[in-house]
Amino acid sequence: MQDVKTELDRPNPRVLYASQTRQRMVRSIAVLLEIRPDDTEDLCELLELVRQQEAASHRAGFDHVARLCRSMGDCLEGVRRGDQPGTVAVLDTLLDVCRAVENHAHAIAATVAMPCYGSSSGRSSGRGGAETPWPL
């Protein structure tokens, strides 16, 4: 009985990924909205958040998101080193990518919240009325 309770208490990894992704992107967006290109402390914080997200996305199997985060990190690294200017256009693009990753997290959370089976899904496979499971 204890094993069942322990299993039920364990958070769904996709819910945890979505929650942590949202937290990182909300913070990243806040930093980007206030950042100055010469502010190395904010650039370092932002770079750390993006690298954390890259690793988390890779572990969760979202390699496309990990690649986006890798590109963002490379861009931020270039701005930090002075190899790339931190123009408004660059920062706006980074902001757009952070918002896209945040939307990705919302989509993951929404798919986890959907029922897997049962009549509440309302989806039919067309084969005798059998329900089609929602993708997880």
Domain CATH number, residue 49? 1.20.120.160
Tell me whether residue 102 is in a domain: yes
Query: Which residues are within 8 A (CB) of 12 and not within 5 positions of it... i.e. 6 or more apart?
Result: 112
Asked if residue 128 belongs to a domain, the reply is no
Helix axes 13-34, 88-113, angle to 10 degrees: 160
Instruction: Specify the amino acid at residue 132.
Output: T
What is the domain range of residue 95? 2-121
Q: Is the pLDDT of residue 18 over 80?
A: yes
* pLDDT greater at residue 96 or residue 10: 96
Q: What is the pLDDT of residues 89-123, one digit of tens each?
A: 999 999 999 999 999 999 999 988 755 533 344 44
pLDDT band at 4; cut points 50, 70, 90 = low
Alpha carbons within 13 angstroms on the beta-carbon side of residue 38 total 0
pLDDT for position 125: 40
Express each pLDDT in 65-82 by its tens digit. 999 999 999 999 998 888
